[in-house]
């Protein structure tokens, strides 16, 4: 039986980084990094899992990646699918720091219905106990699974498959750094099988996607983080910088500090600013509270602040009507 053809695209990150000692698992990169094809060549057994098309893209530190890189990646994926007969899916290699943001953005924008699985590593491939090889192997196995089609973008880390909307990085160094706090993983990849237990229900690409063909840059959306003693300085600065929208990372279950709330509510009334109320709590949903309604804030549901920021930016490419944006947050 012919093997499934999988495109593996490299975007840099720990999974492609090298340290100068096998026990160096923290301060790596001093010995350079590997291009995607060189990384795949490190693990020749990957060829037993799929017919791998290794594609060099660009090595982007995960803390620097943003819209220009994402738009270029979307174009590259469309080109690969159009030019590669029999392509079965994509595996994207990415730094873990912002992997959840890239995954969520792609889950709202990709055109392909093929499986798209993102993975990375908590320890570089040069480390004695690196997770790079097995994460890459399991991501390839997941991308070949028929059940992975139409699941949106998935994140594979530490043998678990997570939906892009729910997954978040919850630990700096542990191998089980990615979790879906409210819902858990959608499936697992074990030595004998790729097993799915549930399917994401919220709207996602390719059937419900934001078309960014004519969007050169996303509208500016900033995050105001609530903390005791906040005096509204950050909120004012973002408003004065010309933000089109702001996400309030409020106290759980979703309350913005009074000084910040006053600044934002005034900007909603006077400048048409769109404000989404999220929580800094890490899990759980924000709701349509009386306080939020009085301020003109839209609840983020259970999206964390960084993903609420992206969905708000995408929504603002379509509309500035707050009722429509509230609907987008209810269904996406």
- Before 199, cis peptide (omega within 30)? no
Kind and range of the H or E element at 157?
strand 153-157
- Four-CA torsion 250, 252, 254, 258, nearest 10 degrees: -50
CA gyration radius for the chain?
20
130-to-15, 45, 133, 175, 242 alpha-carbon distances in Å: 9, 16, 7, 9, 44
Q: How many CB atoms lie within 10 A of CB 190?
A: 11
Phi, psi of 42 (to 5 degrees): -65, -25
- Which of 4, 14, 119, 168 is catalytic? The answer is 14
Is the separation of the CB atoms in 130 and 34 below 8 Å?
A: no
14 in catalytic set:
yes
Name the H helices within 213-257. 233-240
- Before 253, cis peptide (omega within 30)? yes
Distance CA 191, CA 20 (A): 31
Task: With H, G, I as helix, E, B as strand and everything else as coil, classify residue 324.
Answer: helix
Is the separation of the CB atoms in 189 and 125 below 8 Å?
A: no
Give catalytic residue positions.
14
């Amino acid at each position: 039986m012919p093997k499934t053809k999988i495109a593996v695209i490299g975007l840099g990150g720990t999974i492609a980084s090298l340290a100068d000692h096998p026990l160096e698992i923290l301060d790596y990169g001093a010995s350079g990094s590997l291009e995607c094809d060189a990384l795949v060549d490190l693990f020749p057994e990957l060829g037993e899992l799929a017919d791998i098309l290794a594609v060099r893209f660009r090595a982007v530190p995960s803390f620097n990646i943003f819209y220009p890189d994402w738009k270029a990646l979307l174009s590259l994926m469309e080109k690969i699918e159009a030019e590669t007969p029999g392509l079965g899916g994509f595996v994207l290699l990415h730094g873990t720091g912002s992997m959840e943001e890239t995954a969520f953005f792609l889950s709202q924008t990709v055109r392909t219905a093929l499986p798209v699985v993102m993975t990375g590593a908590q320890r570089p491939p040069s480390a004695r106990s690196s997770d790079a090889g097995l994460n890459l192997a399991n991501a390839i196995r997941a991308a070949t699974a028929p059940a992975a089609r139409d699941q949106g973008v998935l994140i594979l880390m530490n043998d678990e498959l997570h939906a892009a909307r729910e997954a978040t990085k919850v630990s700096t160094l542990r191998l089980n750094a990615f979790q879906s706090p409210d819902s858990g993983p959608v499936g697992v990849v074990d030595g004998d099988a790729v097993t799915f237990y549930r399917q994401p229900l919220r709207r996602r690409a390719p059937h419900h996607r934001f078309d960014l063909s004519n969007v050169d840059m996303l509208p500016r959306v900033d995050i105001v983080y609530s903390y005791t003693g906040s005096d509204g300085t950050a909120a004012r600065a973002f408003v004065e910088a010309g933000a089109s929208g702001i996400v309030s990372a409020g106290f759980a279950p979703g309350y913005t500090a009074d000084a910040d709330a006053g600044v934002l509510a005034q900007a909603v009334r006077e400048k048409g600013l769109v404000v989404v109320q999220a929580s800094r709590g890490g899990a759980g949903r924000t709701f349509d509270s009386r306080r939020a309604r009085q301020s003109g804030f839209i609840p983020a549901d259970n999206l964390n602040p960084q993903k609420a920021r992206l969905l708000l930016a995408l929504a603002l490419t379509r509309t500035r009507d707050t009722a429509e944006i509230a609907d987008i947050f209810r269904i996406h």
